């Protein structure tokens, strides 16, 4: 694979829920690419379809049309053993750091489980777990502790370590910081940036917050009602978006300056009224 070839390519992807007689289309021929070592943000309000695209890539929802390729290989309808083997290349970090970790397992068991399933020996698993904990800035002695003993930010670090233990090439980050306070958000985002520099892993970063994706993403794609309405350089899309819906998202982002916040609020209301009228 050359440096210019996308690691992940989604072409005209369609996802439908409901019955075959009365399908509810939630993705309308969405096309997106993620390059090696690149972070692409996927932004939109709740219900826009951004998480559904991530689930389609992970094989968690069926694809009704289009094609998904990873490293040039068609994975659109991959199932069973093929999908399990793909887990070494594609991993996920979920939104909820409290619900994504099994409360009955220790940190060591949580992190070593995917390695054992892949055939690693106990010694190999323990060595890799120690390396991953060090990478996410957690001490090795946490392996005997349970998720309930950690804060939300620490749990998300554990979830990131779990995603990294198989040394994947792509991680789907599904709202990974939205459940965290602002200080912890910044810490986790800095960690993800550092890990990408160290490992070269690619991210598809799903979020509703333009401020968050501005900090971490090289390119940003905006979704509205199952359609991709704008895509471009991360700095440009998050500061000077062109599509009316993208401008609404920017206007909805809070700022510390009360005067600027009032201006944004007025802009958001005007854009909302235009949307309702149209």
Spatial distance between the Cα atoms of 278 and 272, rounded to a whole number of angstroms: 10
Nearest to 199 by CA among 235, 161, 152: 161
Compare 21 and 192 and report the one with higher pLDDT.
192
Q: What is the rounded CA–CA span in Å between residue 177 and residue 156?
A: 8
Residue with tokens 């991959």: 78
Q: pLDDT, tens digit, for every residue of 4-37?
A: 689 999 999 999 998 888 889 999 999 999 999 9
Contact 177, 159 (CB under 8 A): no
In whole angstroms, what separates CA 100 from the centre of its chain? 14
Helix (H, G, I), strand (E, B) or coil at 47: coil
Q: What is the pLDDT of residues 197-245, one digit of tens each?
A: 999 999 999 998 888 899 999 999 999 999 999 999 999 998 888 888 8
Instruction: Report the distance separating Cα 72 and Cα 145, nearest Å.
Output: 41
Q: Name the pTM for this structure.
A: 0.87
Q: How far apart are CA 203 and CA 196, in angstroms?
A: 8
pLDDT band at 262 (very low <50, low <70, confident <90, very high): low
> Alpha-carbon distance 52 to 99, whole Å?
19
Question: pLDDT confidence of 144, banded at 50, 70, 90?
Answer: very high
């Amino acid at each position: 694979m050359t440096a210019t070839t996308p690691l992940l390519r989604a072409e005209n992807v369609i996802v439908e829920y409901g019955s075959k007689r009365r399908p509810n289309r939630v993705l309308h021929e969405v096309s997106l690419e993620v390059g090696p070592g690149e972070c692409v943000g996927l932004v939109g309000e709740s219900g826009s379809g951004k998480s559904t695209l991530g689930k389609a890539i992970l094989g968690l929802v069926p694809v009704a049309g289009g094609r998904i390729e990873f490293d040039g290989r068609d994975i659109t309808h991959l199932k069973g053993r093929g999908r399990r083997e793909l887990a070494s290349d594609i991993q996920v970090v979920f939104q909820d750091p409290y619900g994504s970790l099994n409360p009955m397992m220790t940190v060591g068991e949580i992190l070593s489980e995917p390695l054992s399933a892949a055939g690693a020996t106990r010694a190999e698993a323990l060595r890799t777990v120690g390396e991953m904990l060090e990478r996410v800035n957690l001490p090795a002695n946490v392996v005997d502790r349970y998720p309930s003993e950690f804060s939300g930010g620490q749990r998300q670090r554990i979830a990131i370590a779990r995603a990294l233990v198989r040394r994947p090439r792509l991680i789907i980050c599904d709202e990974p910081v939205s459940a965290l306070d602002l200080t912890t958000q910044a810490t986790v985002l800095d960690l993800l940036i550092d890990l990408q520099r160290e490992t070269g892993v690619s991210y598809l970063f799903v979020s509703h917050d333009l401020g968050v994706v501005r900090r971490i993403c090289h390119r940003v794609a905006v979704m509205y009602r199952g359609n991709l309405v704008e895509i471009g350089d991360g700095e440009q899309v998050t500061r000077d978006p062109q599509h009316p819906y993208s401008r609404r998202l920017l206007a909805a982002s809070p700022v510390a300056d009360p005067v600027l916040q009032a201006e944004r609020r007025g802009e958001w209301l005007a854009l909302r009224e235009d949307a309702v009228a149209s």
